[in-house]
Amino acid sequence: MKKQYLFIFLFVLFTACSKDVLDRTVFIPDENDHNLPAYTEWGYNTFGAEYERDYFLVSNMITPCKIVYKDTLLQFSLSGTYQGYKDMTLTFIFPVEKMCDYWDLMQLHKKNIELSAKDCTVKILRDNVESELNILEGELYFKRTQLLSVDDVMNRVILSGTFYLQFVENDIPSFITNGRFDLGITKNLYYKY
Protein backbone atom coordinates (compact mmCIF):
# COMPACT_ATOMS: atom_id res chain seq x y z
CA MET A 1 0.00 0.00 0.00
CA LYS A 2 2.85 2.40 0.82
CA LYS A 3 4.38 1.82 -2.62
CA GLN A 4 1.06 2.84 -4.17
CA TYR A 5 1.14 6.12 -2.22
CA LEU A 6 4.71 6.72 -3.35
CA PHE A 7 3.76 6.22 -6.99
CA ILE A 8 0.75 8.53 -6.64
CA PHE A 9 2.92 11.19 -5.03
CA LEU A 10 5.66 10.87 -7.64
CA PHE A 11 3.09 10.99 -10.46
CA VAL A 12 1.56 14.18 -9.07
CA LEU A 13 5.03 15.65 -8.50
CA PHE A 14 6.36 14.95 -11.98
CA THR A 15 3.21 15.81 -13.94
CA ALA A 16 2.75 19.20 -12.33
CA CYS A 17 3.41 22.30 -14.36
CA SER A 18 4.89 24.32 -11.51
CA LYS A 19 6.86 23.86 -8.31
CA ASP A 20 3.85 24.85 -6.20
CA VAL A 21 2.63 21.24 -6.43
CA LEU A 22 4.43 20.64 -3.13
CA ASP A 23 2.17 23.23 -1.48
CA ARG A 24 -1.04 21.48 -2.51
CA THR A 25 -3.06 19.16 -0.31
CA VAL A 26 -3.09 15.51 -1.35
CA PHE A 27 -5.89 13.77 0.56
CA ILE A 28 -5.48 9.99 0.55
CA PRO A 29 -8.28 8.40 2.59
CA ASP A 30 -7.41 6.20 5.53
CA GLU A 31 -8.25 2.57 4.80
CA ASN A 32 -10.09 2.18 8.15
CA ASP A 33 -11.97 5.50 8.07
CA HIS A 34 -12.27 7.10 4.63
CA ASN A 35 -13.28 10.44 6.21
CA LEU A 36 -9.78 10.87 7.64
CA PRO A 37 -6.54 11.21 5.68
CA ALA A 38 -4.20 8.24 5.91
CA TYR A 39 -1.18 8.73 8.14
CA THR A 40 1.71 9.45 5.77
CA GLU A 41 5.17 10.95 6.01
CA TRP A 42 5.40 12.41 2.50
CA GLY A 43 4.52 16.09 3.09
CA TYR A 44 1.01 15.82 1.61
CA ASN A 45 -0.16 18.91 3.57
CA THR A 46 -2.99 17.06 5.25
CA PHE A 47 -4.35 16.60 8.72
CA GLY A 48 -7.51 15.27 10.24
CA ALA A 49 -9.10 14.13 13.48
CA GLU A 50 -12.38 12.91 14.88
CA TYR A 51 -14.02 15.68 16.92
CA GLU A 52 -16.73 14.03 19.00
CA ARG A 53 -18.93 12.42 16.29
CA ASP A 54 -17.77 14.69 13.48
CA TYR A 55 -14.45 15.54 11.82
CA PHE A 56 -11.93 18.36 11.89
CA LEU A 57 -10.22 18.22 8.48
CA VAL A 58 -7.85 19.99 6.17
CA SER A 59 -9.44 22.16 3.46
CA ASN A 60 -8.08 23.11 0.05
CA MET A 61 -9.30 26.67 0.69
CA ILE A 62 -7.33 27.23 3.93
CA THR A 63 -3.59 27.09 4.60
CA PRO A 64 -3.41 23.96 6.77
CA CYS A 65 -0.63 24.95 9.14
CA LYS A 66 1.26 27.98 10.41
CA ILE A 67 3.97 27.97 13.03
CA VAL A 68 4.95 30.93 15.21
CA TYR A 69 7.99 30.97 17.48
CA LYS A 70 8.02 33.72 20.10
CA ASP A 71 9.63 34.02 23.54
CA THR A 72 10.73 30.33 23.68
CA LEU A 73 7.18 29.15 22.85
CA LEU A 74 6.17 27.41 19.64
CA GLN A 75 2.61 27.85 18.35
CA PHE A 76 1.66 24.97 16.06
CA SER A 77 -1.70 25.84 14.42
CA LEU A 78 -3.86 23.52 12.31
CA SER A 79 -6.58 25.30 10.32
CA GLY A 80 -9.38 23.55 8.46
CA THR A 81 -13.09 22.85 8.64
CA TYR A 82 -15.35 21.32 11.25
CA GLN A 83 -18.76 19.86 10.43
CA GLY A 84 -17.81 20.11 6.78
CA TYR A 85 -18.12 23.88 6.47
CA LYS A 86 -17.20 25.83 9.60
CA ASP A 87 -13.66 27.22 9.77
CA MET A 88 -11.72 26.11 12.82
CA THR A 89 -8.15 26.46 14.08
CA LEU A 90 -6.58 24.30 16.77
CA THR A 91 -3.40 25.78 18.25
CA PHE A 92 -0.91 23.91 20.40
CA ILE A 93 1.52 26.14 22.36
CA PHE A 94 4.52 24.61 24.09
CA PRO A 95 8.12 25.49 25.02
CA VAL A 96 11.03 24.51 22.76
CA GLU A 97 14.70 25.32 22.55
CA LYS A 98 15.78 28.28 20.47
CA MET A 99 14.61 28.24 16.86
CA CYS A 100 16.27 30.68 14.49
CA ASP A 101 14.67 29.46 11.26
CA TYR A 102 12.19 26.91 9.95
CA TRP A 103 14.81 24.18 9.51
CA ASP A 104 15.23 24.22 13.30
CA LEU A 105 11.88 22.41 13.38
CA MET A 106 14.03 19.29 12.90
CA GLN A 107 14.53 19.30 16.69
CA LEU A 108 10.89 18.18 17.01
CA HIS A 109 11.78 14.69 15.66
CA LYS A 110 10.31 12.03 17.99
CA LYS A 111 9.19 14.77 20.40
CA ASN A 112 6.17 13.94 22.52
CA ILE A 113 4.29 16.90 24.04
CA GLU A 114 2.09 16.16 27.06
CA LEU A 115 -0.75 18.63 26.50
CA SER A 116 -1.95 18.63 30.11
CA ALA A 117 1.45 19.92 31.32
CA LYS A 118 1.44 23.34 32.99
CA ASP A 119 3.73 24.84 30.35
CA CYS A 120 1.42 23.81 27.46
CA THR A 121 -1.67 25.61 26.18
CA VAL A 122 -4.25 24.53 23.62
CA LYS A 123 -6.59 27.05 22.02
CA ILE A 124 -9.48 26.62 19.62
CA LEU A 125 -10.83 29.27 17.24
CA ARG A 126 -14.37 28.82 15.88
CA ASP A 127 -16.78 31.44 14.56
CA ASN A 128 -14.07 34.09 15.17
CA VAL A 129 -14.14 33.30 18.90
CA GLU A 130 -10.98 31.94 20.49
CA SER A 131 -11.03 30.02 23.74
CA GLU A 132 -8.38 28.28 25.79
CA LEU A 133 -9.18 24.65 26.49
CA ASN A 134 -8.94 23.06 29.92
CA ILE A 135 -6.96 19.96 28.95
CA LEU A 136 -7.67 16.85 31.00
CA GLU A 137 -5.43 14.57 28.96
CA GLY A 138 -3.71 14.74 25.59
CA GLU A 139 -0.64 14.24 23.51
CA LEU A 140 0.96 15.84 20.45
CA TYR A 141 3.58 13.52 18.99
CA PHE A 142 5.98 14.58 16.23
CA LYS A 143 6.73 11.08 15.02
CA ARG A 144 9.02 12.11 12.17
CA THR A 145 10.62 15.26 10.82
CA GLN A 146 12.46 15.38 7.50
CA LEU A 147 14.26 17.93 5.36
CA LEU A 148 13.14 18.03 1.73
CA SER A 149 15.44 19.51 -0.88
CA VAL A 150 14.51 20.38 -4.46
CA ASP A 151 17.38 20.74 -6.94
CA ASP A 152 19.82 20.48 -4.02
CA VAL A 153 18.23 23.48 -2.30
CA MET A 154 16.46 23.01 1.03
CA ASN A 155 12.78 23.56 0.34
CA ARG A 156 10.80 22.54 3.44
CA VAL A 157 10.64 20.58 6.65
CA ILE A 158 8.08 17.77 6.66
CA LEU A 159 6.37 17.30 10.02
CA SER A 160 4.40 14.09 10.53
CA GLY A 161 2.70 12.90 13.68
CA THR A 162 -0.39 12.28 15.74
CA PHE A 163 -2.50 13.98 18.42
CA TYR A 164 -5.45 13.48 20.72
CA LEU A 165 -6.98 15.44 23.59
CA GLN A 166 -9.75 15.35 26.15
CA PHE A 167 -10.81 18.77 27.40
CA VAL A 168 -13.47 20.84 29.09
CA GLU A 169 -14.91 23.85 27.27
CA ASN A 170 -17.73 25.91 28.80
CA ASP A 171 -18.09 23.24 31.51
CA ILE A 172 -18.73 20.55 28.87
CA PRO A 173 -16.27 17.65 28.44
CA SER A 174 -15.23 16.94 24.84
CA PHE A 175 -12.62 14.97 22.95
CA ILE A 176 -10.60 14.97 19.74
CA THR A 177 -9.14 11.58 18.76
CA ASN A 178 -7.31 9.84 15.92
CA GLY A 179 -5.54 13.07 14.97
CA ARG A 180 -2.80 12.87 12.38
CA PHE A 181 -0.82 15.40 10.36
CA ASP A 182 1.63 15.38 7.45
CA LEU A 183 2.74 18.91 6.63
CA GLY A 184 5.41 20.60 4.53
CA ILE A 185 6.59 23.72 6.35
CA THR A 186 8.41 26.35 4.27
CA LYS A 187 9.84 29.71 5.31
CA ASN A 188 6.47 31.25 4.33
CA LEU A 189 4.66 29.23 7.01
CA TYR A 190 7.17 29.78 9.83
CA TYR A 191 7.20 33.06 11.74
CA LYS A 192 9.65 34.18 14.40
CA TYR A 193 9.47 37.40 16.35
pLDDT (tens digit, 9 = 90+) per residue, 86-97? 999 999 999 998
User: What's the pTM?
Assistant: 0.88
Q: Rounded to 5 degrees, what angle do the CA atoms 61, 62, 65 make?
A: 150
Evaluate whether residue 5 is within a structural domain: no
Distance between CA 115 and CA 70 in Å, rounded? 19
Structural domains of the chain, count: 1
Q: Is 90 a member of any domain?
A: yes
Does residue 10 sit within a domain? no
**Beta-strand pair 65-70/190-192:** parallel
pLDDT for the residue 153: 83
User: CA quadruple 74, 80, 83, 88: dihedral positive or negative?
Assistant: positive
Q: For residue 128, give its domain range.
A: 21-192
| 6 within a domain of the structure (yes/no) | no
pLDDT at 111 over 80: yes
Average pLDDT of the chain is 90
**Backbone conformation region of residue 72, classed left if phi is above 0, alpha if psi is from -120 to 50, else beta:** left
Please determine, for residue 3, whether its predicted confidence score (pLDDT) is greater than 70: no
